[in-house]
């Protein structure tokens, strides 16, 4: 059994928007939220905050008119998710991720590093991250949603 | 990967309740928007959603093209 679940930034946004996700994954998220095993990373604040400044209105995440920190706090509280702070150990691990992942996307690297160090399953629909978990057995546990 | 195969999804007010095969339920609290109203009845919630959404959109586009061609 996984020690818990870490939500990828887009999953956090989808849950807030009540968009459809794969129901077995949604069950795991709901259960983890009720049992204190649901986590989000500070890096999601940065990822979604940066996205909210995109020039194209259509590409901006819908934060319901809230500031990014206000939206993040309200959403994570409602879901029962706990925030994992970015520590030096996570930053060091994130720096090593591109060598295996093949991409230097900072958000992805921090999420992968956080999931690895905290032994969490990363809940995602990111095809590159899912491919990494399939390719490098034992490197990263993912829950596809 | 999740070991759970079948989950029933129900809406209670703004919340979404997920129930596994053993009858164990957990809730994701919502804002009263979205899921209950926006679900396409053709979508099977117990299967990966986005593949279905993409396939249905393609089907709808094809149907629309066919109707336009027939009308013309």
Q: What is the pLDDT of residues A106-142, one digit of tens each?
A: 999 999 999 999 999 999 988 899 999 999 999 999 9
Q: How far apart are CA A111 and CA B12, in angstroms?
A: 32
Domain that holds residue A86: 5-144
| Chain B contact present for A31, CB below 8 A | yes
CATH code of residue A55: 3.40.50.1010
Report the domain count for chain A: 1
Q: Which residues of A touch B47 (CB under 8 A)?
A: 22
Q: How far apart are CA A61 and CA A54, in angstroms?
A: 9
Residues B48/B39, Cβ–Cβ less than 8 Å: no
User: Chain A closest CA to B62's CA: distance in Å?
Assistant: 24
Q: What tokens were used for A44? A: 């999601």
Give me the pLDDT at residue B2, please: 53
Cα A106 to Cα A65, A71, A89, distances in angstroms: 26, 21, 15
- Residue B43 has its nearest CB partner, among A20, A27, A79, at A20
Q: Which residue has the tokens 């706990």?
A: A82
Q: Between these two residues, B54 and A41, which has the higher pLDDT value?
A: A41
């Amino acid at each position: 059994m996984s020690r818990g679940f870490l939500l990828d930034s887009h999953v956090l946004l989808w849950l807030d928007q009540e968009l459809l996700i794969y129901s077995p994954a949604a069950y795991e998220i709901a259960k983890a939220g009720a049992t204190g095993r649901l986590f989000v990373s500070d890096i999601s604040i940065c990822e979604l905050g940066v996205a909210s400044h995109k020039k194209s209105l259509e590409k901006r995440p819908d934060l319901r008119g809230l500031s990014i920190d206000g939206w993040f706090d309200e959403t994570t509280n409602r879901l029962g998710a706990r925030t994992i702070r970015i520590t030096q150990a996570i930053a060091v691990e994130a720096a090593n991720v591109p060598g295996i992942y093949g991409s230097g996307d900072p958000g992805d690297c921090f999420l992968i590093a956080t999931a690895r160090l905290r032994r969490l399953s990363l809940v995602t629909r990111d095809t590159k991250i899912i491919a990494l978990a399939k390719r490098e057995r034992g490197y990263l546990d993912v829950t596809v949603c | 990967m999740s070991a759970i195969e079948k989950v029933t999804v129900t809406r209670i007010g703004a919340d979404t309740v997920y129930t596994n095969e053993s009858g164990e339920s957990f809730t994701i609290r919502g804002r009263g928007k979205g899921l209950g109203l926006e679900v396409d009845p053709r979508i099977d919630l117990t299967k990966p959603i986005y593949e279905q959404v993409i396939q249905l959109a393609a089907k709808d586009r094809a149907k629309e093209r066919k109707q336009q061609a027939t009308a013309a």
